[in-house]
Amino acid sequence: MDKRLGQFFVEKNGQVGIGMLIIFISMIIVALVAAGVLLQTSGRLQTKASATGEQAITEVSSHLKVVSTVGYSSDTTNITSLIMAVQLGAGSGSVDIDNIILSFQSENVYTSGIVSSQASAGAVANFTFSFIKNNTANDILERGEIVEITYTDLDNDLDISPNQEFIVTLQPKSGQSTQLKKRSPFVISQAYVSRWS
């Protein structure tokens, strides 16, 4: 009787051990699958967070700086063109000139959507540009370069009379806008105006 009892317990212990082993292996497999899902999700979140961070830095840091502004008067009575020397602001990333949008506002006129003549020939108003200093021979404004942007409105909306205030806004595709606020002199007596009231 003792022998049978001993054999019974040995067999039962073996069955319990195999069952526990199966449960243990199942738990490990479930844990591995869960860990894989968590790692994959965290990897995606990290990639998305990095991309969002870079985009936010670009939005905050990219901006233009207007170094000088000259008005051109074809008849020495009203200013009909604006010539702006522009460079990157401190800490700004590169800016594609074809992606800059201008807007012009004076007392009775507001013109928006002014784009480069190279970017769109069918726009209501365009600006032209030429590099004063270009290190890379392309249309990308980079650090150390200066571009001259000339805005002449074909519909004569840019007809700045003496002692008239106007605002020009330069908006890169991504980044902060730059606002230029000037007032024309009381008397316009020469073709190029560089001193503003």
Which are the contacts of 20, defined by CB distance < 8 A and separation ≥ 6?
none
**Beta-strand relationship, 126-133 and 110-116:** parallel
List, for residues 117-153, the tens digit of each pLDDT value: 876 656 667 888 999 988 787 888 998 899 999 998 7
List, for residues 48-69, the tens digit of each pLDDT value: 777 666 665 555 567 899 999 9
- Asked if 160 and 183 touch (Cβ cutoff 8 Å), the reply is no
- Which parts of the chain sit beneath pLDDT 70? 1-17, 51-61, 119-124, 154-157
DSSP 144: T
- In total, the chain counts a number of residues equal to 197
H helices of the chain, where?
2-61
How far from each other are the two terminal CA atoms of the chain, in whole angstroms?
118
Closest to 194 in 3D by CA, of 78, 65, 80, 83 = 83
Q: What is the pLDDT at residue 37?
A: 87
pTM greater than the 0.85 cutoff: no
Q: What is the pLDDT at residue 77?
A: 87
